[in-house]
Amino acid sequence: MQNYHSCDSAQSGSGAKLSKCVGRFLSPYSFFYIFRSLYFLPYCSLFFSWPSLMSNAWLTAMLNQLVFLGGRVMKKFTFVCLSVACVAALLVVEPAFAGPGGKIASAVFESFWGKVVLGLLVIIFAPLIIYTLVKEKIAERRARRDLRFMAAYDAQFDWLAVQERVKDCFFRVHSGWEDENLAGVSDWMTSWYWQNQQSVHLNRWKKEGLINICNVKKIVGLKPLLFVHRNQGQEHENSMLVVSITARMQDYLKERASSRIVEGSKRFKEVETVWSFTFEQGSWKVSDIEDGSRSLDYANMVTELPAIESTVVSDLRA
């Protein structure tokens, strides 16, 4: 249910990271331009060193041969990389619409060959996966530190209290989504967001004869990625918290009349989504639900944050 882009339970951890890394960074177009540039690199070096080579015919001939061999190697390398990129682009597809946030978990890696390809991609893109994990870990530490600082001013910023609120929102929103009526959980969402989700997705699916089945078994991972403290109108108002949530769940879209599965599968998967919360009138409320591939975008925003101490407008502590 949420807006996901995930793999099945056997590919948790590095597999899920692969999906969002490839979805975030890779495309056939990016590979084309990168490796086309690399292909012409030997020619560029030859051009810039040409005056000095004119005095040594033997060296010129050798370099010409190296350029020729380098060109052949780069052609093969480019072909391999483009092939990998095309496979990744085909496998890491955009998820279909369903679930809170409007998307449903992908079932593309559930087959045997899907898992084999996944394993190969994990090996190939291991550096990218590690980079993403490191960036998110740095962002998590900063968010926890800033929340700990603000907890001295308001208990609602204490991470333990925040976790309970986030989990409560997560389960309640899923329950309301499966009931096809978010009005009952409107106290856990911002007014604009719950009305938007109700009209844009749930009401439309009813007209199309579709229903989203989502069954959350448990939350297996929860970490803050970004905390922005604000004081809009009053102290702490409209502060924002972005949390990555990974849950083991069942999520698929089916036809109401025939029960035929239109998208997804009945298998339980570990699904990662990014939830944004806004601090309104003394409590955290869901303001957005996005695909797990957005986590790195939020993690990169940490460098733009001011020192948390500079955002405090009062010396009063809780």
What pLDDT, in 10s, does the model give residues 222-265? 999 999 999 988 889 999 999 999 999 988 888 989 989 988 88
- Dist CA 156 CA 153 (whole Å): 9
Residue type, 131: Y
Which residues of the chain are in CATH 3.10.450.240 domains? Answer: 137-311
Residue 268 CB contacts under 8 Å (≥ 6 apart), including other chains:
8, 9, 215, 217, 248, 249, 250
Sheet architecture: strand order including 261-280: 210-228, 240-255, 261-280, 283-291
Q: Judge whether residue 173 has pLDDT over 80.
A: yes
Q: How sure is the predictor about 114, in pLDDT bands with cuts at 50, 70 and 90? A: low
Mean pLDDT value across residues 89-94: 44
pLDDT on residue 221: 95
H/E stretch holding 77:
helix 57-91
> Who has greater pLDDT, 177 or 25?
177
Ramachandran angles phi, psi of 258, nearest 5°? -100, -15
Q: 48-57 pLDDT, tens per residue?
A: 444 444 445 5
Alpha-carbon separation of residue 27 from 34, 149, 224 (angstroms)? 11, 41, 28
Alpha-carbon separation of residue 91 from 24, 236, 265, 291 (angstroms)? 13, 43, 16, 16
Pick the CATH number of 137-311 from 3.40.50.150, 3.10.450.240, 3.40.640.10, 3.40.50.10860: 3.10.450.240
- Dist CA 99 CA 217 (whole Å): 15
Q: How sure is the predictor about 278, in pLDDT bands with cuts at 50, 70 and 90? A: very high
Q: What does the buried/exposed string (b/e) look like for 175-204 if buried means 16 or more CB atoms within 10 Å of the residue's CB?
A: ebbbeeebeebbebbbeebbeebbeebbee
Highest mean pLDDT out of 32-46, 85-99, 222-236: 222-236
Structure tokens at 104: 């449903």
pLDDT on residue 7: 34
Mean pLDDT value across residues 137-155: 96
Q: Judge whether residue 171 has pLDDT over 90.
A: yes
- Dist CA 205 CA 290 (whole Å): 19
**What 8-state DSSP symbol labels residue 305?**
P
